[in-house]
Amino acid sequence: MKQLYFRCFALLFFSLITITAYAQKTVSGTVTEKSGLPVPGVSVSEKGTSNGTATGTDGKFKLTVKPGAVLTFAFIGLKTKEVTVGDETNLTVVLESSESALTEVVVTALGIKREKKSLGYAVQEVKGETLSDAKEPNLVNALSGKVAGLQITRSGNGPGGSSKITLRGNNSFRPGAANQPLIVVDGIPLDNFTGASNNDYYNPSLDMGNGLSDINAEDIESMSVLKGAAAAALYGSRAGNGAILITTKTGKAQKGLGITISSSIGIESIFARP
């Protein structure tokens, strides 16, 4: 009787092992880019489980999964892809590049777009929408509170008055020194001159505005503030106080005319009569 029980138990045990073995299948394959080059280090996992592996230096992988399982392929900089395991045991998976996976890109002093984390100096970018939302008559005033270490000094000459930019403090105590960063608009240097020699409240001279006041905030795509002399090495001593790179908007293909209308109204009262 004991031998009969033992034989039954052994038969049941081996039956379970056989069923489990038949319930799984081994899947292998290669992961490549759109160019056809293999991608090493891609994470290959069975969705909903902890079962997984990674591709080798040749982009190949091998994994035992359940029939009908869903394989997830993930890699930094490439779009995550899911593939359902069917009758095939050898897969070829092509991963596409993911633009959303790219880090923040800024414009350097050389006019080249690079990843912000790869730069060896401080740089901060301000989007054009942020500047236009401020609804300031003078573009310089729209930078107030947008960039760390940047100070805006306004004159007392009303909405059309000039404004001065100071980045990380004054660099010179020489009388008449501007101490302003260099402005570069689409690769062309521009001086943010102040149109008044005297901005005193009670006795100001004629103020014709500053250089950046001629630029419309609606025309700006982005503005990169490069801090320090190393950031503006291309422009030499002129950019000793840093540089502000402005990239204006360009034409884009779209349906229709693409007309955008923007208007604002400001009302002021006289603060003090002479």
Residue range 60-107, pLDDT digits in tens: 999 988 888 899 999 887 889 999 888 888 889 999 887 554 455 555
pLDDT of residue 135: 80
Q: What is d(CA 47, CA 245) in angstroms, rounded to the nearest whole number?
A: 46
pLDDT of residue 18: 46
Overall average pLDDT of the 35-45 stretch: 89
pLDDT of residue 11: 55
Q: How far apart are the first and last CA of the chain?
A: 120
Q: What is d(CA 115, CA 214) in angstroms, rounded to the nearest whole number?
A: 31
Which listed CATH number (3.20.20.70, 1.10.287.1060, 3.40.50.300, 2.170.130.10) goes with 105-248? 2.170.130.10
User: Of the candidates 170, 135, 140, which has an alpha carbon nearest to the alpha carbon of residue 155?
Assistant: 140
Topology, domain 24-99 = Immunoglobulin-like (2.60.40)
Q: Check residues 150 and 235 and name the one with the higher pLDDT.
A: 150
What are the extents of the domains in the chain?
Answer: 24-99, 105-248
Overall average pLDDT of the 18-38 stretch: 76
Do residues 31 and 73 lie in contact, with contact meaning Cβ atoms separated by under 8 Å?
yes
Q: Could you tell me the pTM of the whole model?
A: 0.52
User: Of the candidates 111, 145, 123, 137, which has an alpha carbon nearest to the alpha carbon of residue 217?
Assistant: 137
Comparing 28-32, 117-121, 130-134, which segment has the lowest mean pLDDT? 117-121
